[in-house]
Amino acid sequence: MRKFFQEIKADLKFKTAGPGQKLSEPSRAPREKPKAEAAPKPRQGPTDEAQMAAAAALARMELKPKAKVASSQEAIKNQVRKELMAEAAASEKGLLAEEKDLTSPDQEGAVAPSVSGVYFICPLTGAVVRKDQKEKHLREAIRSYFSIDPVAASIMEIHTFNKDREKVRVGVETMAKYLDNIYLHPEEEKYRKIKLQNKVFQERISCLDGTHRFFQAIGFETKTLPTTEEYYVLKEEMLTKLEDLKDYKERLLSSEPVRAQLDRQLCVFKPSPEAARFELPDDFYNLTAEEIKREQRLRTEAVEKASMLRTRAMREKEEQREMRKYNYTLVRVRFPDGYILQGTFYARESVSVLYTFVREALRDDWLPFELLGPGGLKLTDENLAFNECGLVPSALLTLAWDAAVMADIQASSEEQPASPLKPELLSRVQTLS
C-alpha cells in the first residue's frame, strides 16, 4: 500500500502528457535567460484516473479482514487483564492472611497482655478458675457438695445464688420462723405443715433458689392432703431431733454467700525497663465493648471539657464515675535492687492489703518500708482504696526502705542476702516481656 501512494506522489511531480507526448517526459518552455528568478509553478492535482485508482485501493483496504491484528491486540489485552486479576486476587488473599495473622494471639512479635485475665480460687475445691467461669464452677461445686452435707449445700445455694440480699434476708427470716414454731411447739401439728400455695410462702420463699432443697434436706416431704392441696410436712422421726432443727435454723441465719477468692497471681520479674508498660485484658474493666468505645470517644472531648467551668460537685461526680470504670487493678512494686513484685487486686480494696501482700513476700517481714506512687508520692493512708489513690487499672510503685534501719543492717557484720524476697519466689523469677 505504501508503494501505491509513492507512485501517486510521483505522478504529481509531472504534468499530464498531451497527445503524442511521453508520460515520462515533462513539458519544457523555451530557454530564455530570465531577468529574475522565476517563481515555482504550482503543483497540479492527480488525474481522475489516479484518484479513482487510489479510491479503489482504499476501498480494498477497508474490505480486508482485520481479524489478525484485532485478535492479536485483544488477546494481549485479555492476557493482561487475566494477569492483573490474578495478581489482585493473590494480593487480596495475602492481605487477608496478614490480617488473620495480626488478629492471631500466636503471631510472632504481638504484644502479649501483662496477665492473661482475672482468676479466682474456689473455696470448696481449691481450683483456680477464670472470672467468666467462676459462677459456673461455684454452682457445680455446691451441687456436688449435696452428697456430703445436703443441708449445708442448700444453705450455700440460698445465700450465694440469690443476688437480691433483701429478698434473701426476708426469705431466710420467714423460714427460721417456721422452724422456731416447730421447735417451740412440737405438739402442735399445724406448725409441722407448710402450705406450698400460701401467699407468704410463694412471695418470700418459693421464689428463692435453693429453698425447696433446704426443706427436703432437713426432713420435710411433699404431701397432697385431703384438701387436694400440696404441703411440706415434717417427717415424724424429726420430732426426736428438735435440736438439729434449731441448729439448722442458726446456720441458715448466720451463713454468708460463698465467695471465690481473688487470685493475686503473684509474679516476680527480673529488673526490666518494661516495668511501666501494661497491657491489660478486658477483665480489668467494668465496661462492655460498646461502653469502652464510647469512653474512647469521650476522651477526645477531654480538652473541650477541661476548658468548661465546672462546679466542685460536677468534678466529684466525674471522679466517682471514673473510679467505677474498673473492677480490678494490676500493681507492680519495684524494689531497690530492680526486682519487680506483681499482683492483682480489687479496685476498691484498701492500700493496706498491698502492704500486707508485699510484707508476705519478704524474707524478713519485719523490715519497715514505704511505697511510693507516681511522682514519689508516699502512700501513707493505707485505708484509702486503690481507685481513690488513682492506682487503677494499673500502677507501678517503688519500695523504699527505712534509711536508719538499713544503715544499721549494713553496719552489722552479718552477710546480707542478695535480695530481700523469699527464696521460693526468686526460684521462679520471670523475664518481663
For residue 36, what pLDDT band results from cuts at 50, 70 and 90? very low
Task: Please give the average per-residue pLDDT across 114-140, as a whole number.
Answer: 93
Q: Is the pLDDT of residue 224 over 70?
A: yes
Q: Distance (Å, rounded) from C-alpha 413 to C-alpha 416?
A: 9
Q: Distance (Å, rounded) from C-alpha 156 to C-alpha 159?
A: 5
Q: Cα 215 to chain center, whole Å?
A: 44
Contact 391, 372 (CB under 8 A): no
Q: Could you tell me the three cell numbers for 114?
A: 501483662
- DSSP class per residue in 11-29: HTTSPPP-TT--TTS---P
Task: Please give the average per-residue pLDDT across 415-428, as a whole number.
Answer: 88
- DSSP class per residue in 356-383: HHHHHHBSSTT--EEEE-GGG-B---TT
Mean pLDDT, all residues of the chain: 78
Q: Residue type for 249, please?
A: K
Which carries the bigger pLDDT value, residue 114 or residue 352?
Answer: 352
For residue 317, what pLDDT band results from cuts at 50, 70 and 90? low
Which carries the bigger pLDDT value, residue 101 or residue 57?
Answer: 57
What percent of the chain has a predicted confidence (pLDDT) above 90?
A: 53
Query: Which residue carries 495478581 as its cell?
Result: 87
- Taking only the tens place, the pLDDT of each residue in 64-106 is 444 444 445 555 445 545 554 555 555 445 444 444 443 344 4
Q: Is the pLDDT of residue 193 over 70?
A: yes
Task: Please give the average per-residue pLDDT across 16-26, as a whole number.
Answer: 44
Q: Is the pLDDT of residue 27 over 70?
A: no
Please report the domains of the chain, with CATH numbers, ordered by start residue.
121-254 (1.20.58.2190), 323-431 (3.10.20.90)
Beta strands in 162-239 (DSSP E): 193-195, 220-224, 230-234
**Sheet arrangement for strand 119-121:** 128-130, 119-121, 261-262
Closest residue by Cα to residue 219 from 188, 249, 174, 256: 249
At residue 319, the pLDDT reads 57
Q: Is the pLDDT of residue 150 over 80?
A: yes
At residue 383, the pLDDT reads 94
- Taking only the tens place, the pLDDT of each residue in 238-279 is 999 999 999 999 999 999 999 999 999 999 999 999 888 888
Task: Please give the average per-residue pLDDT across 108-133, as a whole number.
Answer: 85
What percent of the chain has a predicted confidence (pLDDT) above 70?
A: 64
At residue 333, the pLDDT reads 97
Q: What values do phi and psi take at 169, rounded to 5?
A: -60, -50
Which carries the bigger pLDDT value, residue 305 or residue 259?
Answer: 259
Which carries the bigger pLDDT value, residue 27 or residue 401?
Answer: 401
At residue 107, the pLDDT reads 44
Strand, coil or helix: 153: helix
Length of the chain equals 433
**Sheet arrangement for strand 230-234:** 193-195, 230-234, 220-224
Q: Is the pLDDT of residue 108 over 50?
A: no
Report CA-CA distances (Å) from 267 to 212, 263, 340, 374, 431: 45, 12, 8, 21, 10
For residue 285, what pLDDT band results from cuts at 50, 70 and 90? confident
